[in-house]
Amino acid sequence: MPKTPRHYLDYAASAPLRPEVLDAMLPWLCGPYGDGYGNANSLYREGKAARQALDEARLVLAQAIGATPPEVVFTSGGTESNNALIAGLSAAWRERGGHARQTGRVISSAIEHHAVLEPLKHLKRDGLKVELLRADRQGFVQPEALAAALAAAGAVAGTGALAAAGSGTGAAAWPGAGHSVALVSIMAANNEVGSLQDLSVLAALAHGQGAIFHSDAVQILGKLPFDVQQLNIDAASFSAHKLGGPKGVGAFYLRTGTPFSPQALGGGQEMGRRSGTQNVAGAVGFARALALSLAEQQAQAKRLSDLRDRLAGELLALDAGIELTVDPRAAGFTAETAAASQGVAQGTSQSATPSASPATARGANQAATPNTAPAAAQAPGHQPSYLPNLLSLLIAGHESESLIMALDKAGVAVSSGSACSTGSLDPSHVLTALGVPRRAAEGALRISLGYASTSADIDALVAALKQILRR
């Protein structure tokens, strides 16, 4: 009996490992393929070879996001990166800012991934106040909402941020000194509806109140331009397996001079910010997947947005109680407008080839100096936009789990939202936060495309869903 052809449409959960990535990793996995199995912290030949490969991978990632290599720390994935940064930045605010016995605030959004929301719960149990901003019905966190939250929190001393930014004393120049808001964390691109947040404006608002700004950038890396300098953010989290890289490896960016209290303690690897023997093969695979994604970025963004829009039109034409959770077509798409929605100039800091100098855009010892200019001066006009590869549906009268199982039987793999919520009987917290009624949210499907997606995948999904909804 012939096997049913498979059509994988859940790239937001995990992308298949690219063959070129596996080829790049093999020399660092086992002896027969090379001598890269050594510990990157050892002094003999095998260790030095591993160290060189790790350094080269770090440089690729740094150049891709407009950072310097010392600002990039490898981790086990996006979840660890988010946990490490949220806990480490908040702890440093208390320890170095003299707030050990004071209650500070952390501001985030209600549509964040669980890898942000769960560590925020721990901060709350530790005495910090956590405020979650609502997004609008289209999935966007409005700058006015953050400005109001910051104003309500108030500043203990009005000159703390400016004084810290101008002191030039590196890590001692803690930007949160004298302020009650320790951290603002807003994701770059939502993993369920694909909305792209106005990070440059949000970061400027946070800096204006002396807060550190962090972004979960797991879904956007490689798909659209993302430059930490242009966005003026202090920290960001990344993961390899959303790009066709290996599972179990990620990274975080931490701006030079930003106080940080390490959460993984031990031998002091990764410049003391994340102890533990590094996953060299994983880092090499991450770098290779990112290099491939950057080389294809503009063409893939256009191709995938065209496939997504065609899919949306064909599904709506079925007239089977299907509606779009948000309509990414309404904003229109070009690589330029999507980049502009992030406040990033198209084509900058996106080189996948290491240059001769490890300091890609500024000196490696430059201290953190959050920009305190008015938000209007940072990004003149946000252009609402969405990821080019993601579509969220609401199907009336059906439950997500039943639809997913029926589609799987027909050879099509999709999800209802975050893969981390599998097994939950509750509707997506993201859809609930957007104001989607509970009954409608129970029939949600998320379709996400990737580098290997084709028109045949779209045809298979439409045909299968048409059959399922007729029953």
Q: How far apart are CA 149 and CA 419, in angstroms?
A: 30
The candidate with the shortest Cα–Cα distance to 111, out of 191, 183, 199, is 191
Q: How far apart are CA 89 and CA 214, in angstroms?
A: 9
Six-digit token pair at 271? 């410049």
Query: What is the 3-class SS of the chain, one letter each residue?
Result: CCCCCCEECECCCCCCCCHHHHHHHHHHCCHHHCCCCCCCCCCCHHHHHHHHHHHHHHHHHHHHHCCCHHHEEEECCHHHHHHHHHHHHHHHHHHHCCCCCCCCEEEEECCCCHHHHHHHHHHHHCCCEEEEECCCCCCCCCHHHHHHHHHHHCECCCCHHHHHHHHCCHHHCCCCCCECEEEEECCCECCCCCEECCHHHHHHHHHHCCCEEEEECCCCCCCCCCCHHHHCCCEEEEECCCCCCCCCCEEEEECCCCCCCCCCCCCCCHHHCCCCCCCHHHHHHHHHHHHHHHHHHHHHHHHHHHHHHHHHHHHHHCCCCEEECCCCCCCCCCHHHHHHHCCCCCCCCCCCCCCCCCCCCCCCCCCCCCCCCCHHHCCCCCCCCECCCEEEEEECCCCHHHHHHHHHHCCEECECCCHHHCCCCCCCHHHHHCCCCHHHHCCEEEEECCCCCCHHHHHHHHHHHHHHHHC
Question: Is the distance from CB of 58 to CB of 279 less than 8 angstroms?
Answer: no
Indicate the length of the chain as a whole number: 471
Catalytic residue among 132, 316, 420, 462: 420
Q: What region, left, alpha or beta, does residue 280 occupy, with left being phi > 0 and alpha being psi -120 to 50 degrees?
A: alpha
Question: Is the distance from CB of 103 to CB of 128 less than 8 angstroms?
Answer: yes
Is residue 30 annotated as a catalytic residue, yes or no? no
Six-digit token pair at 329? 């077509």
Instruction: Name the maximum alpha-carbon separation found in the chain.
Output: 74
Q: What are phi and psi of 10, to 5 degrees?
A: -135, 50
Q: How far apart are CA 50 and CA 129, in angstroms?
A: 43
The residues annotated with a catalytic role in the active site are 420
